[in-house]
Structure formats: C-alpha cells, structure tokens
Structure 1
Amino acid sequence: MSGNFLTIPGDEPMQRRSRSSSLTNLISAFDTKAQSHTEGQKICAFSGQFDKSIKPTFSREEYGKPIPGSMTEIRGAEAQARVCTEMKELCEIINEYGKTPCKGLLPPELQSATKVISFGELFTIYTVISDKLVGILLRTRKHHLTYFEGEVLFQKRDDDVPVFLLMPIADIRQYCDNKALQARDQSHPCPNNSKSM
C-alpha cells in the first residue's frame, strides 16, 4: 500500500486538501494547548515539573485571583453564591422571629430597621440550622443587610446585643439572589446556560 494515508480512493483533490488542512489545524491547536499546559506546570508549585527559576508575573488586578476559567475560579464563585444564599436564610430567620423595633428609640442611622432580635435568641434558633452564624452575620453586616454593635458577637457574653434587619425582606431576597447569580455568571464556563441551572 503506497501513497498518503489521508487519500481515499475516488477523492477529489480539493476535498483531500481541505481534509488535510483541517487535520493540520487540529494538530496545531493540540500542540498549542499541550505547550500551554507544560508552561503552566512549570509555574505551579504542586506539579512535578515545577521550576523555581521561573517567576510568574501578575498585574495588580490579577494578583491573588485564580486563573480565569479555571476550576478554582468556578469553585470560588459557587462558594460565593452559597454564602449569598446563607445570608438570605439568616435574614429570613431574623424577619420571621424578630420583632418590629420602636422607631422612636432608634438612632437616625437605624430608622430603616424593619426587625430586631437579640443575639442570644438568634443563636439558639440558628444553631439548629448551621454552626456558621457569626461568620454569616458579619457578612450580612458588611453588605448592609443587618447591624449590630461590636466587632464579633460571642455566645453568653453578647446574648443581649440587638441585631437589626435594615431592609424589607423582599429587598433582601432580591439583593442576595442577584449577588448569587452574578457570582455564578462571572465564572461559569457557559454563561448562557448558567440561568437554567
């Protein structure tokens, strides 16, 4: 058997040429991907091909962030979306079990508060659901959904500290859902399909 292995009896020369060029393009794309992977392994401290002499360079915006499109970025976005869901659940609990605050006794910055609950009561309710109350509570305060005094609240010591819900629950639901959706959309490999998941 002689001749080019890409030739098929009865093939027109034009078809052979296009088949050959598409195979060449495929091989070229594979080689480029393989070369990129090899270079990436040289700067990854956890790979067997790590090369200490090669120093990765990052811009200010890239520093401390995962490589775009990587599984690390996708897992981080999913974690951020889960945190948004947990923030919403915590606010739902405050809304359900909290009481309407007396507006006349509140300082001006808390006039928008819709519900209030003591940390001790919230801790008792929330520990049945999750053991991450303090972390999620700090996150809700960072997003201006709740307010409480002090840096961190501790069980027993801060049981009487009031925790205020600063927005109506419908607004909080919408805010948290939008944040979760944004987190998933930013790093989802197929952005058009993320809404259907």
Structure 2
Amino acid sequence: MTSRESTVAMETEKEVNSPAQCEGHTVSVKGLKENWQKWCSEHQRNQKHNPFSHDSRHSVGVYQAKLDYGRPLQGSLTEQRGQEAHTHISKEIKKLCEAIKTIGELKEKDGGDGGSNRKVIAVEFGKLFQHYVAISNKLVGILLRARKQRLVEFEGEMLWQGKDDHVVIFLVE
C-alpha cells in the first residue's frame, strides 16, 4: 500500500467513524444504523399482524375483524383531518338543504308503501344547479351525500347538468 493509499484509507475511516454534519445537526453512522434497525424491527412487528402481508410468520392464526378496522389511529393527524372533512361536508349539506328550502316549492309526494301523499319541498335539478353554482361547485357530490344520509330523494344514480335538469329533488328532512 502506498503512502497516498494509506492516507486516503485513514481519511475514509475517520469519516465513517466520526460524526458528520448534516444541516447543522451531528449525524453518526452508528445513530443512523440504530434508527434503521428500530424502524425495521417495528415494521416486521407490524407486518406480522397485517393479513395482506407476504410475511409467513404471522402471529395471528385467523384474522379477527376489529371495530376500528379501516379507521385511522385515534389521535392521529389522519383522524383529525377526517373529522375536519366530516364537519366541512356537514356544513355543505346544511347549505344545500337551506338552498332547497329557499328556492323550492311545496309539492305532493307519494308516501310510498301504501301511505298517503305528503307535502314536501321540491325543486328541479336545473333550477337548483343555477342557484347553487354561486355557493359551491360540488352540488352533485353533496346531493349524493345528502341522499345517503336520507335528507333528500331523487330518481337515478347520478344527476347530469342539461340531461337531468327536470329531475325533481325532494327535501325529506
């Protein structure tokens, strides 16, 4: 080994064993290795409980569905964002119902299942679309969500501007 090669080898060894500077923080290879090992161990532990993992060492024999399956961890940012989105959508649905009350008219609606007719507020989709466009650009999505919550009723799966302008939307509330 030449003196030049030994000098380069010593400098490389110093760089590996001594802490490095990274954006004002001291980072050592040992610290990075420990963090990586910690992450790997945690990941392997989680994969043992993941029914979709290809890890053959499952610690759970038969997967039992939990009540919180498919829901974010409590207290996580994801849960917080979901709650905020739910609150926002609820406000949008409330605005939609108020808009229907404002521009709608009382009409007779068949009570269904042999019941008598009842008076409900109704509006045509085209009229609602023209009014609601000044409030929000998400009318169809909000209508679908309101129907899912049984606040409004209308025929068809989806409403299209122009094509479905004469479809009547009933406010159930």
Partner amino acid, structure 2, of 1:92: E
Q: Among all aligned residue pairs of Structure 1 and Structure 2, give the percentage whose two residues are the same amino acid.
A: 39
Question: Does 1:60 pair with 2:66?
Answer: yes
Matched residue, 2:171 = 165
Query: Does the residue aligned with 1:164 lie in a helix, a strand or coil?
Result: strand
Aligned-pair distance for 1:57? 2.7
Partner amino acid, structure 2, of 1:89: K
Partner amino acid, structure 1, of 2:47: K
Separation in 1, partners of 2:159, 2:88 = 22
User: Normalization by structure 1: what TM-score?
Assistant: 0.55
* Bigger relative contact order, structure 1 or 2 (CA pairs below 8 A, ≥6 apart): 1
Please, which of 129, 138, 143 is the counterpart of residue 135 of structure 2?
A: 129
Matched residue, 1:108 = 111
Assess if the C-alpha contact under 8 Å between 2:126 and 2:166 holds in 1.
yes
Indicate the structure (1 or 2) with the bigger Cα radius of gyration: 2
Assess if the C-alpha contact under 8 Å between 1:113 and 1:164 holds in 2.
no
- Long gaps (5+) in structure 2: 1-34, 51-64
Question: Does 1:98 pair with 2:104?
Answer: yes
Task: For residues 162-197 of structure 1, give each alpha carbon's deviation from its aligned partner in whole angstroms, at most 9, with x where no partner exists.
Answer: 000112xxxxxxxxxxxxxxxxxxxxxxxxxxxxxx
Please, which of 117, 123, 128 is the counterpart of residue 117 of structure 1?
A: 123
> Relative to 1, partners in 2 of residues 1:138 and 1:56: Cα closer, same or farther, differing over 3 Å?
farther
Please, which of 150, 159, 163 is the counterpart of residue 153 of structure 1?
A: 159
> Relative to 1, partners in 2 of residues 1:50 and 1:159: Cα closer, same or farther, differing over 3 Å?
farther
Query: Does the residue aligned with 2:122 lie in a helix, a strand or coil?
Result: strand
Aligned residue runs from structure 1 range 30-41, under 5 A: none
Query: Does the residue aligned with 1:88 lie in a helix, a strand or coil?
Result: helix
Query: Does the residue aligned with 2:169 lie in a helix, a strand or coil?
Result: strand
Query: Does the residue aligned with 1:116 lie in a helix, a strand or coil?
Result: strand
- Long gaps (5+) in structure 1: 1-37, 44-48, 168-197
Matched residue, 2:27 = none
Matched residue, 1:28 = none
Separation in 1, partners of 2:102, 2:46 = 56
Cα RMSD, aligned residues only: 2.8
Assess if the C-alpha contact under 8 Å between 1:126 and 1:133 holds in 2.
yes
Assess if the C-alpha contact under 8 Å between 1:118 and 1:161 holds in 2.
yes
Higher strand share: 2
Aligned-pair distance for 1:52? 6.0
Higher helix share: 1
- Structure 1 runs of 4+ off > 3 angstroms? 49-54, 109-113
> Relative to 1, partners in 2 of residues 1:56 and 1:131: Cα closer, same or farther, differing over 3 Å?
farther
Matched residue, 1:80 = 86
